[in-house]
Amino acid sequence: MERNRRSLAVVVLVSMLGFTGCGGSDDDPPRLHIEVVGTRPHDPRAFTEGLEVDGNVLYEGTGMPGASDVRATDLTTGNELARTALPAPYFGEGVTKAGATLWQLTWQNRVAIARDPATLAERGKASYDGEGWGLCTRAGNLVMSNGTDTLTFRDPVTFATTGTVTLTSRNRAKLNELDCAADGSVYANSYPTDEILRIDPETGRVLAIIDARGLLPATVRAGTDVLNGIAQLPGTDHFLVTGKYWPTIFEVRFVPD
């Protein structure tokens, strides 16, 4: 009888553990949709790889060999403040401002370029392994994506790796452009979908999935490429989102379904 009681206890415990490990918010994060609150014109020739808002300046990095550049625009007027082209064969990717440096990634060239935030002039270069996709700055550190489900943390001065975190759910996601939000979370475009993931960078947990379908009319969307580019407007819960070759930047909020 005692042996039977112990066997029953083990079965119950295993069942409880199995139930706890199934389902839950890690595997079924809440879904949000986009509420458009405004629009701004966007260069339809820009193969957008990164957006970043710093104060009243909007930085954008673009891709494609021979057509890659980084540009700074006045957020209020839309006037261009500076622009610097990347010579071929460099393929530009994400950008972020960290302290007194604007970092720009390249895709498969394995080079990050340190720039002056005002003039966009090159100050130096740093090398890294693998591909460069998205980049943002959180708590004084850089957060970088490489087209996988892993985020890499880097020193904002040397660009050396300081750690990594891998998504604990949706492990097939290809994290692209990143935005380090004011609340400490990281928003990531999930390539090549119309979804944006909100991620806890401490744990890799996906906190929310944002459905960004339908921003462009179907007739316009057909002549563009994927959704890519996200940047929070400081002091608000609004974000700017756009895509590669999109003619519009949308100012949006993320709201429950």
For the stretch 1-27, pLDDT in tens is 444 443 333 333 333 333 233 334 567
What mean pLDDT is predicted for residues 40-69?
98
To 10 degrees, the CA torsion angle through 199, 200, 206, 210?
A: -40
What is the predicted pLDDT for the residue at 257? 87
The token duo for 106 is: 């390249």
Q: Is the pLDDT of residue 255 over 50?
A: yes
> What are the backbone dihedrals phi and psi of residue 16, each rounded to the nearest 5 degrees, phi first?
-65, -45
Mean pLDDT of the chain: 91
Whether omega before 192 lies within 30 degrees of 0, making that bond cis, reads yes
d(C-alpha 32, C-alpha 212), whole Å: 9
State the Cα angle at 97 between 95 and 102, rounded to 5°: 70
Predicted structure pTM score:
0.89
Residue 169: which pLDDT band, with cuts at 50, 70 and 90?
confident
Counts for the chain of helices (H) and strands (E), in that order: 3, 20
